[in-house]
A and B are shown apart, each in its own frame.
Chain A
Amino acid sequence: MRALVVHQVGPGVAVQDMGRPGFLAKGLTRGGAADLRAVYEGAALLRQSADLAVLEMVGTGGTFEAKEPLRIALTGAAMTVAVDGETVAWNASHMMPAGAKLVIGPSRDGTYGYLHVGGGFDTDAVLGARATHQSVGLGDLVSAGMILPVGPDKGRDVGMTLARDPRFSGGDLRIVPSMQTEDFEPTIRDRFEETAFRRDPRANRQGVRLDSDGDGFSNPKQLSIVSEVIVPGDIQITGDGTPFVLMAECQTTGGYPRIGTVLPCDLPRVAQAPAGAPLRFTFVSLAEGAAIQARADADLRRMGQSVTPLVRDPHDIKDLLSYQLVGGVVSATDTPLDEG
């Protein structure tokens, strides 16, 4: 049986996929991986469908053993990792021989790390998906002693890598106006854009609380509003003026007003921001937001083209002379690139 045995595991490890669309009318949100970009990255590294289930690890991973040879890939928040005692690269694919031990430790940046296996995790689907949706009791967290079945793997590539995307330390986020944005006074919206927020330690798969110095963002003329649709990325302002970015496991409706909505392509940056990381919001128009998102969606579809071999032996590089060998050398005088 193709499977991964769980010997020891951290407190927030769960099977995830792209979630369960189609049940909004029934009061069930889509859920799924907190960092969908990481799911696409793993799929690109293993050259398989992004719909296959993965293991999401919050803060730390665990100790796993392959029952049969398994291709694996590691994406999202970089964690310490070794296969049979030997450190391997994050954001890369590797071969795990039968019986090999994979040890994944604490994250060094970001919040959510992902373990992908060739063929995907083949746990039982409920309501059309394998995603664990803890707050509604769909699926269980992974615990020691579990044997996670793995699907058949048609791929062969390993030892591939993707350039690290800079989304693991907070930064700038683009938001579009949403249904209640106009209900906020322009001065409050301006102040919201000017504020340097920090990710509060209180954050989970339902929402991320934002800290800031100074006044809250309650609207003085705010009416008691009727509960209305929530979508992931909505920034709700609670009664005391605190903003929360709502994430994959948010509820389907809520009674707090929303000041704006983070673009889906920027949501992984919110998910991954570690506690205390700086976050800043800028409004873009709906048309601009749509254009930015459409480009990001196209990039996700093309991600496979950016996958490169992990180690390049110069003998394997036929066109060595065409390589710009000094690229990447840090200049002592240039301003470093802003990764935000």
Chain B
Amino acid sequence: MSEQQKFEPKIRSVGLNGVLVTFGEKATDAANRAAIAFRTAVDTQHWAEVEESSSTLVSAFFRVDLAAHRFDKIHDRMQGVLAEQDWANARLPSGRTLWTIPAVFGSDRAPQLAEAAEAAGLSQAAALQELTTARLRVLTLGFAPGQPYLGTLGEHWDIPRQVGLSPNVPAGALVAAVRQICLFAKDTPTGWRHVGQSAFHCFRPKGGTPFPLSPGDEVQFTDISAKELARIEAHNDEGAGAAIREVLE
């Protein structure tokens, strides 16, 4: 969209804790891709002053001690990387993971599929079809450790949050709002609609992969029965939830 093309990336300080490079005013898919690609590009240069980095829906963040390193100098270095290419059209980094995650859609395990479909103007069957064919990207992780916001669904999925909160939607839930799916890392009260249920644990602090997902990873859901989910849950000590992972070229 032209509005997106007009947005000049912004470089700002965040307290004395770091530098934020923002690629859009609204949560667009292009701004998110730019943030992920830019973060990877800076990270691969291993700047001594950057202690760690992250990315949000529209920005790349670099943790830098601004009491020890001058912001204006880092600003100029960031500007140099920004000028290298049009980040809104940058390729996503290679080596990301594609996750195929089984989930129940609808039934008493995910009781708001019908409601969400209606809000999106779809039949329940069409909604299921879209949710299990869309290749979604991990836009960012947050609010709970390892918890992904997945996008971006078609415009008709721009459904608002419900007014009242559902008191306790369980870990592993797929909830929908604002063209995104969130996969809950823990039981959470929410205004997003509970459309699916997986056995995938997003945060496994005691295992070898404490945070299985990374920003930029892709996720594909497959439809399983409530009975199959129960079978997966019965043997799910590691929290893998019968998900399959492959590396994207």
Interface residues of A (CB under 8 A from B): 21-28, 126-127, 136-138, 176-179, 226-229, 231-234, 251-253, 261-264, 286, 289-291, 293-294, 297
Closest to B185 in A: A27
Given contacts A136-B145, A229-B54, contact A253 B15 (CB under 8 A): no
The residue from A126, A178, A294 contacting B15, defined by CB atoms under 8 A apart:
A178
Kindly state the separation between the CA atoms of A211 and B63 in the bound complex, as whole angstroms. Answer: 31
Contact A290 B67 (CB under 8 A): yes
Interface residues of B (CB under 8 A from A): 12-18, 20, 22, 24-27, 51-59, 61, 63, 66-68, 70-71, 140-147, 185-186, 203, 205-206, 210-211, 214-215
- List A contacts of B16 (CB < 8 A): 176, 261, 263-264, 286, 289-290, 293
Contact B53 A137 (CB under 8 A): no
Contact A233 B15 (CB under 8 A): yes
Contact B186 A252 (CB under 8 A): no
Contact A231 B15 (CB under 8 A): yes
Kindly state the separation between the CA atoms of A233 and B70 in the bound complex, as whole angstroms. Answer: 20
Closest to B215 in A: A25
The residue from B66, B70, B140, B145 contacting A28, defined by CB atoms under 8 A apart:
B145
- List A contacts of B20 (CB < 8 A): 179, 228-229
Most buried by A among B13, B26, B53, B214: B13
Contact A126 B68 (CB under 8 A): no
Contact B211 A253 (CB under 8 A): no
Closest to A296 in B: B67
- List A contacts of B142 (CB < 8 A): 27, 227, 251-253
Contact A26 B145 (CB under 8 A): yes
Contact B57 A179 (CB under 8 A): no
The residue from B13, B27, B146 contacting A27, defined by CB atoms under 8 A apart:
B146
- List B contacts of A178 (CB < 8 A): 12-15
- List B contacts of A234 (CB < 8 A): 14-15
User: What are 27 A-to-B residue pairs whose CB atoms are below 8 Å?
Assistant: A25-B141, A27-B143, A28-B145, A137-B205, A176-B15, A179-B13, A179-B22, A226-B26, A226-B57, A228-B22, A228-B56, A228-B58, A229-B18, A229-B20, A231-B14, A251-B142, A251-B143, A252-B141, A252-B142, A261-B16, A264-B16, A264-B67, A286-B16, A290-B16, A290-B70, A294-B67, A294-B68
Minimum Cβ distance to chain B for residue A230 (Å): 9
Contact A126 B205 (CB under 8 A): yes
Kindly state the separation between the CA atoms of A21 and B203 in the bound complex, as whole angstroms. Answer: 16
- List A contacts of B146 (CB < 8 A): 26-28
Kindly state the separation between the CA atoms of A27 and B27 in the bound complex, as whole angstroms. Answer: 18
Kindly state the separation between the CA atoms of A127 and B210 in the bound complex, as whole angstroms. Answer: 8
Kindly state the separation between the CA atoms of A76 and B94 in the bound complex, as whole angstroms. Answer: 48
Minimum Cβ distance to chain A for residue B60 (Å): 10
Q: Beyond the given A226-B58, A228-B56, please list 5 additional residue pairs across the A-B interface where CB-CB is below 8 A.
A: A27-B185, A28-B146, A176-B15, A177-B13, A229-B56
- List B contacts of A23 (CB < 8 A): 145, 211
Closest to B13 in A: A286
Closest to B51 in A: A21
Closest to A24 in B: B54
